[in-house]
Structure 1
Amino acid sequence: MVVQVYVDVIVFGSISQKKVDGFVKMMTDEFEMSIFGELNFFLGLQVKQTDDGMFISQRKYARSLVRIFELVGSKSAKTPMSTTTKLIRDEDGEDVDTKLYRGMIGSLLYLTASRPDLCLSVGICARYQAKPKKSHLQAVKRIIKYVKGTVEYDLHYTKDTSSELVGFCDADWGGHTDDRRSTSGGCFFLGNNMVAWHSKKQNSTSLSTTEAKYIALGSCCAQLMWMRQTLSDSGKGTGPEM
């Protein structure tokens, strides 16, 4: 059984209905509380449960994000970021409202909780929050335009899966134009369900592609070891593969 407490909200679940009923009785006997039933919405995450699994999305949040930043009438973008033009510090560029830019980045970062396809582009734009320029703002707007056309995207978690833990990772070499640092990325699957992902600029400058990928591999291994230990603590121990 899994129980999560957030302020005055409790989300719980179990594969045993008997345990669920027992937990409900114990909590209602001890505390004055209301039971809202099956989880459908929590902290901006929409949950739809089916017989073969569940769908997790942030559709409502994504729509409100597009509306708040006044891009409802704009044309949708096919990709979150240009594959040919790289962002740079752009010292001579036109300054933009720092508060607005940071608000956009913060909103998009929360959306990556269910949208791994946004991690890289949002992470790159987040590097320029200290002194954003017009070129950076245009890049962020493109991400939101991409979100506008992909609002219906969600994550599907199937019941018919295994407990095998698998991780994939990679890195570019010197991809960040300003300081020539590399960016590591990784995604992690429990069976056929992706349960974690990340994209982050490396802390040091790699002198070769091999070094950049070695750093990415180390980060991936650390994440896998933590996940394996968590699974082991819950009685679902498994060996990771890479």
Structure 2
Amino acid sequence: MKPLWVILVLLANLGFTCSPHVNALFIRKNEHGVVLLLLYVDDMIITRDDADVISTDDGIYLSQAKYASDLLARAGITDRRTESTPLEPNVRFTPMDDTVLDNPTLYRQLVGGLVYLTVTRPDITYPVHVLSQFLSAPRTTHYAAVLRILRYIKGTLFHGLYFSAHSSLSLQAYSDADWAGDPTDRRSTTGYCLFLGNALISWRAKKQTFTTRSSTEAEYRALADTTAEVISIRWLLEDLGAPQSSPTDVFYDNRSAI
């Protein structure tokens, strides 16, 4: 691999300039449009072998159906049983549920695979986030919950992301949080999603760092995280030559936090 400074010189000679907002993003604009180069990405990048991409005049559909099928086979799920939801309503997990798995290897492999699948399956982001917190000592209840997610995926195998060619470029966001949702440490979970027109482009479910003392505080922290993501996406859109001409609406349901 070439030293980083050599790569940077080559990029400069090719007409690429570094984004003022994202250090790893390099941009080159010409009469045909905008060319992007991401110099470094994290582990959450999908490869051609793992993704199904269908492109038409109306838009692009992206899924990981083949990868999901391989994950089902690894779990040994071969019957026709499916689930309508990835988690049971109002279920809560703790590190002390039932008994410890004798061999946690398969659990860790399946959860890792599910994390990778969330790249195109935002509908399983929250349950996967919850179950990934028990990788060090998973219990039988946690493993049963992983199998439920997989059976839900089996019934929704071809779900994915659709990006319409006719969508507007107006950015809007939705934000929410539970309060003290984790029964063990009483921390809250932040959740948000961002749409560019009718295309879902960013989403997250993550436990908050601190234990909050009120629902207002938990919701306010979620709103702050959502706002930070909105600003980041607005910067990226500006780099892409599609700046937002008006403020971004962030939809929220907590009057005190607003």
TM class by shorter chain equals 0.7 to 0.9
Residue 201 (structure 1) aligns with? 207
Q: Alpha-carbon deviation of 1:43?
A: 4.6
After superposition, the CA RMSD in angstroms is: 2.1
Equivalent in the alignment of 2:118: 112
Among candidates 168, 177, 181, match of residue 174 of structure 2: 168
Which residue number corresponds to residue 215 of structure 1? 221
Distance of aligned partners of 1:91 and 1:59 in 2 relative to their CA distance in 1, 3 Å threshold: closer
1:76 corresponds to which residue? 82
Please tell me the residue identity of whatever aligns with 2:63.
Answer: S
CA distance in 2, matches of 1:124, 1:215: 19
Q: Using the alignment, how far apart are the partners of 1:97 and 1:216 within structure 2?
A: 36
- Cα distance in 2 for residues equivalent to 1:143 and 1:95: 18
- What is the SS of the residue equivalent to 2:195? strand
The residue type equivalent to 2:139 in the other structure is K
Determine the C-alpha separation between the residues in 2 that align with 1:95 and 1:183. 26
Q: Is the 8 A contact 1:62 1:111 kept in 2?
A: yes
CA distance in 2, matches of 1:150, 1:101: 21
What is the rounded CA distance, in whole Å, between the counterparts of 2:214 and 2:202 in structure 1?
27
Match of 2:134, SS state, is coil
**Which portions of structure 1, spanning 4 or more consecutive aligned residues, are displaced by more than 4 angstroms?**
none
TM-score by length of structure 2 reads 0.76
1:127 partner SS: helix
Could you say which residue in structure 2 is the equivalent of 1:6? Answer: none
Q: Which moved more, 1:70-79 or 1:115-124?
A: 70-79
Deviation at 1:152, TM superposition (A): 1.7
Q: How does 1:153-164 map to 2 (within 5 A)?
A: 153-164=159-170
Residues 168-192 of structure 1 deviation map (CA, whole Å, 9 limit, x = unaligned) = 1100000011100001101001111
Which residue pairs with 1:128 in the alignment?
Answer: 134
Q: Could you list the per-position Cα deviations for residues 15-73 of structure 1 after superposition, in whole angstroms to 9, with x for gaps in the alignment?
A: x9x849xx9xxxxxxxxxxxxxxxxx725121101111111111111111111110122
Give 1:119's aligned amino acid. Answer: T
User: In structure 1, what is the Cα distance between the partners aligned to 2:126 and 2:102?
Assistant: 22
**Is 1:97–2:103 an aligned residue pair?**
yes
Quote the Cα distance in structure 1 between the aligned partners of 2:119 and 2:160.
11
Amino acid at match of 1:108: L
The equivalent of 1:230 in structure 2 is 236
TM-score by length of 1: 0.81
Structure 1 position 241 matched with structure 2 position 249: yes
Give 1:231 deviation, angstroms.
0.8
Unaligned runs of 5+ in 2: 1-15, 17-29, 36-46, 251-258
Distance 1:125-1:74 versus aligned 2 partners, 3 A rule: farther
Query: Residues of 1 paired with 2:76 and 2:173: CA distance?
Result: 38
CA distance in 2, matches of 1:146, 1:233: 38
The aligned amino acid for 2:120 is: S
The verdict on how the C-alpha distance between 1:62 and 1:226 changes in structure 2, with shifts beyond 3 A counting, is: same
User: Contact 1:96 / 1:137 at 8 angstroms: preserved in 2?
Assistant: no
Aligned residue identity for 1:154: G
Q: SS of the counterpart of 1:175? A: coil
Give the aligned residue type for 1:62: A
Q: Secondary structure at the match of 1:198?
A: strand
* Separation of aligned partners in 2, 1:141 and 1:92: 16
Cα distance in 2, alignment partners of residues 76 and 160 from structure 1: 34
Number of paired residues?
A: 209
